[in-house]
Amino acid sequence: MDPVQVFKTLADETRFNLIRLLMTHDLCVGALAKRLSISEAAVSQHLKSLRKAGLVRGEKRGYWTHYSVEKEKLHELAELLGDLTRLQPCLESVCIKKLNSKIDCQKEEEKMCDCKCQQPEKLKGKPEECTLERIKECHGDQEHPCCEDEKDSKE
């Protein structure tokens, strides 16, 4: 399952409303069209997108195909969102440049650092020119993380 594609599919208001209707009732295209006040052709097109995303399935019953939600897919999406909310941020109060060199976190942001604070709006001058108050404001009780590199190289 490609979650981005599924979310894009659900981002359409009509498709989202189709899912909501189908959560409580298995319905055919005609019934869905009537309840949503749209054409059967439009419902069919939306159902095609939902089927392609793996969110609904159709079951032939006599002359009609009744659609239902693949609830397991929605559970998977909910679990994915839950996992996202439990992700821990990279180490707090650590310069992104240092962080990248240690644990390769958010590599694309490496260019952002160039030995500046994570909160550059609070940085006045070069890191070594920061007052103790500024360092504490930016980084808590730690030393300025960008200055540690310079200290390490001098020792």
Q: In the predicted model, what is the mean pLDDT of the chain? A: 77
pLDDT tens for residues 113-140? 444 455 555 555 566 666 677 666 666 6
Cα–Cα distances (Å) from 88 to 13, 49, 76, 85, 91, in that order, read 32, 34, 20, 8, 9
101 touches 107 (CB < 8 A):
no
pLDDT at 28: 95
* pLDDT range class, residue 153, cuts 50, 70, 90: very low
* pLDDT range class, residue 86, cuts 50, 70, 90: confident
Q: Report how far Cα 37 is from the mean position of its chain's Cα atoms.
A: 32
Q: By 3-state DSSP, what share of the chain in percent is helix, strand and coil, each rounded to 5?
A: 60, 10, 30
pTM: 0.58
Name the helix (H) or strand (E) containing 67: strand 64-69
Say which residue, 90 or 33, is predicted with more confidence.
33
Q: Which domains does the chain have, with CATH numbers?
A: 3-81 (1.10.10.10), 96-154 (no CATH)
CA angle centred on 90, ends 144 and 133, rounded to 5°:
25
